[in-house]
Structure 1
């Protein structure tokens, strides 16, 4: 039986540190800086690449967090679009015209042009599957001098926000010549990706031809460490300078000045399979919803370092709570009557197996028979998307791609959504999602998003349990590491080790 992480002995933590010993030692091809004597930044990342670091997958967010691949647009702290590889844009009906920044070169020395932008965007729109930021979006791009015209099938008020998604990074031509898209030596950021060793490590060097401010660090050495205890141990032992996503159970073992805690637009949710099995019944889904005690999860598993969820959207979007209606009209719970269910989750986030064990007890108390299936995420995602489980526990970012939750809601709960683990196919939900997607930015869109959230919650296809706070570990020698709620930035041009 798997013990909760907080019960691991000191010897287990020590063993994790031993396993990491030497893992950040630079190789011949990646150890060089720029001859300035600066220190390379050693980063322990949580999840290994799932798709060979293809920017058309979730691996794009690793490229963004390493400041190696960039997009036309970036988002500010409020989620508003700001210039990046594009210096400005304007809308005319279905078409948005973006001016491409002059003086930018890719890491292979070739020049950023409008044609290069069109090539990258076209590769994304024709990919199978498409990046989820393009779910439900028909988008074409054409070059006109130093400008790129991006046209959608219908007027889309969020085209600039969509183009800020790391999955729409702009890469050099040679990135697209193989069977997969390769970001090695093809980005535009302050750091050049120089080597990748499968799912174990990656290395980046400072790119001195960067169009913006020169990186202060000569490079980054990345180790993929799925085990949260090992990531925390690497920071404690001095093997890592930055540890991504420190488990709650390990936070107390670090010095307070090594921890930064930020409310995240990330919700720990129980997705219920509406397509088959016991949860095809709305009454049985309602029974599961009523059986869950989220407060005990926050207190017991997360040690108070999380917020109880009232909806899918949490405190990282403060307007959501003010606009959200009551739960009046929810389906009445039925009797589980010993229904057997299998709940899946993954080990990459250390708290989730413990969440699963706690839910197992709560649901069994309510009359369910519960089996658990726990694997690494890479080994379980395809089964979850195929509807192989009755329920699935997922830690899900709600504004990861565009800074707007409508894209997440469509992806996870639209009948055509690419991440519809609940297998939800509900006409009222689809209608509400379409309204939210079409609404103009601002108050009208926020209200439409909450209406869509309410429609989803009304089906009990998903039971939001808690909103997470990210715990990032930084050695005291690290200066200006990013602490980004959207998980887009980690090491920036301004980050360095003293």
Structure 2
């Protein structure tokens, strides 16, 4: 397969508009987009502080992507189809080999040029990182330069390699980013905004990069602050302290002018992970009892005020091909292998979650009540995510409530299923290792994009659900806050894009909530 584009202008459209054109902010009456770059800056309140010093090899990479400072070889459109970015075209040479043509005329923020060698350096650093970025888990990716192209090979057939290379964790940075054991995105990206300063877990500053290959951004820069507390983020929106606010908590929405909040359907599932390796939930019948205890409708009504969808599986309605597709005899046969629920009599368990998503502690209260109603004795442990992630991944909890993006990396849920539920998964909170699950995930991973792959994905999902290692509760609809001054911010279900080259500020519009 070869993907080609005729001009850099088309590629620019992909980067700044194609990703989510229907979900971009619209013009206010009487406002006019600036013809050229302006002196206006935008302030953004981010939900979570960096956990790994903004290393692109961690989940912090998604901040770099949302700030349009670090770029990848390809980007994804609405349908998760790979489109050109730092690579202008690609072709599959054989079952495990791909050739990516590298865009010419691109400068890194430090003034050095994008070259095939620079691409290889970034990809190889990711491939040799410890821990390995989850998008590369089990892939065996290797890269080498060949003329003006990069040859990428994998250890096994990977029909979605272009989509995989769209992950922000595979951002291409300048040689100066790699010093010793650290990777620094400060002044080393290729995007329309240059990261110039990071103040620990407080904030970051980005300025427009006038040498951007796709043209000049309309904004002069971005001032990002990290505000884990949902009430504080909402207050920043109301007072005009922030122009864009990530994730307005459901309980705070009624305190804000409805014109400033925008509901975004998310491929994000609120799931109860159960520890299959040790403790009471090592018994599948006890896991089945926990599954049967949950009242999803009550959680949605009480905590999300109806702004969520009841989960029928791990994958939700943000992936339209899942809707109605679970009415299948093949899937029913897999789910019929679930263990029967045990009778629970005063079984003590620990339940963990985190405060960064304001709804989760409230969900934990209801889940505790529902589990205790069937015989569990629940002790909660609730912290900021940066202080609880390591314990969760180490299996320190019997149960853990997580809000999880299911197509975070490649736009395809196979990577999520492998990461969270495969024997070698890098994000295995449930500590699951099942031969049937591994086989189903492996089968799905070998199929090219299309209906057959989708069917195989649902079979793999059913295999996970049959273990009761994870109990999906609801699919979120995240609410993004934007002041009346903001124009053309991206509202991205995959949480990769936020401020783009085309985002601008209308200085004539009021900041904050006009009802104050």
TM-score by structure 2 length?
A: 0.89
Inter-partner Cα distance in structure 1 for 2:237 and 2:180: 37
In 2, distance between residues paired with 1:424 and 1:329? 16
Residue 251 of structure 2 is aligned to residue 243 of structure 1: no
**Deviations 1:261-300 (CA, angstroms, capped at 9, x unpaired):** 0110000000000000000000000000000001101111
CA distance in 1 between partners of 2:59 and 2:354 (Å): 16
For 1:147, the equivalent position in structure 2 comes to 149
Aligned mate of 2:201, from 185, 199, 202: 199
- Following TM superposition, by how much is the alpha carbon of 1:241 offset from its aligned partner in structure 2, in angstroms? 0.3
What are the residue-to-residue correspondences of 1:62-81 with 2, within 5 Å? 62-81=63-82
Aligned: 1:182 with 2:184? yes
Q: Distance in 1 between matches of 2:337 and 2:152?
A: 42
Q: Distance in 1 between matches of 2:151 and 2:383?
A: 44
2:40/2:219 contact within 8 Å kept: yes
Pick closer, same or farther for the CA change 1:36–1:493 going to 2, 3 Å.
Answer: closer
After superposition, the CA RMSD in angstroms is: 1.0
What is residue 88 of structure 1 aligned with on the other side? 89
How far residue 329 of structure 1 moved from its aligned partner, in angstroms, is 3.9
Q: Shift in Å at residue 330 of structure 1?
A: 2.6
Report Cα offsets for 1:245-265 as digits up to 9, x if no partner: 111111111111111101100
Q: Distance in 2 between matches of 1:321 and 1:478?
A: 34
**Residues 420 and 427, structure 2, Cα contact 8 Å, conserved in 1:** yes
1:289 equivalent in structure 2: 291
Kindly provide the CA deviation profile for residues 333-375 of structure 1, in whole angstroms up to 9, marking residues without a partner as x.
1011111001000000000000000000000001111110000
- CA apart distance, 1:177: 1.5
Q: Which digits, 9 at most, give the CA deviation of each residue in 1:379-414, with x for residues without a partner?
A: 000000000000000000000000000000000000
Indicate the residue corresponding to 2:462 in structure 1.
454
Distance (whole Å) between structure 1 residues aligned to residue 156 and residue 470 of structure 2: 30
Q: Could you state the TM-score of these two structures normalised by the residue count of structure 1?
A: 0.92
**Superposed counterparts of 1:269-288, under 5 Å:** 269-288=271-290
Q: Residues 151-197 of structure 1, C-alpha deviation per residue, up to 9 Å, x if partnerless?
A: 01112101100000000000000000143100000000000000000
Contact map agreement 2:37 2:217 (CA 8 A) in 1: no
Aligned match for 2:265, one of 263, 269, 289: 263
Paired with 2:146 and 2:434, the residues of 1 have a C-alpha distance of 42
CA distance in 2, matches of 1:36, 1:154: 46
Q: Secondary structure of 1:279's match?
A: helix
Other-structure match for 1:368: 376
| Number of the residue aligned with 1:17 | none
Select 2:359's aligned residue among 333, 351, 355.
351
**1:402 and 2:410 equivalent?**
yes
Q: Which blocks of at least 5 consecutive residues in structure 1 are unaligned?
A: 1-34
Secondary structure in 2 matching 1:130: coil
The match for 2:54 is: 53
| Number of corresponding residues | 464
State the alpha-carbon separation in 2 of the partners of residues 398 and 60 from structure 1. 17
- Alpha-carbon distance between aligned partners in 2 of 1:491 and 1:262, rounded to the nearest angstrom: 16
Deviates more, 1:321-330 or 1:271-280: 321-330
Unpaired segments ≥5 residues, structure 2: 1-35, 507-516
TM-superposed CA distance for 1:58, in Å, is 0.1
Say if 2:389 is the partner of 1:381. Answer: yes
- Contact kept in structure 1, 2:37 and 2:219, CA below 8 Å: no
Aligned residue for 1:314? 316
Q: Which residue of 2 aligns with 1:480?
A: 488
| Match runs of 1:325-344 below 5 Å | 325-326=331-332, 327-344=335-352
Please tell me whether the aligned partners of residues 336 and 466 of structure 2 are also in contact (alpha carbons under 8 angstroms): no
Question: How far off is 1:135 after superposition?
Answer: 1.2
Instruction: Report the more deviating stretch, 328-337 or 421-430.
Output: 328-337
- Secondary structure of 1:445 counterpart: helix
Distance across 2 between alignment mates of 1:376 and 1:78: 33
The 2-side partners of 1:446 and 1:321 are apart by: 11
| TM-fit CA distance, 1:37 | 5.5
C-alpha displacement of 1:38: 2.2
Give per-residue Cα distances to partners, 1:458-497, cap 9 Å, x unaligned: 0000000000011000001100010000000000011111
Query: Separation in 2 of the partners of 1:52 and 1:37?
Result: 30
SS of the equivalent of 1:322 reads coil
Q: Which runs of 4+ in 1 moved over 4 A?
A: none
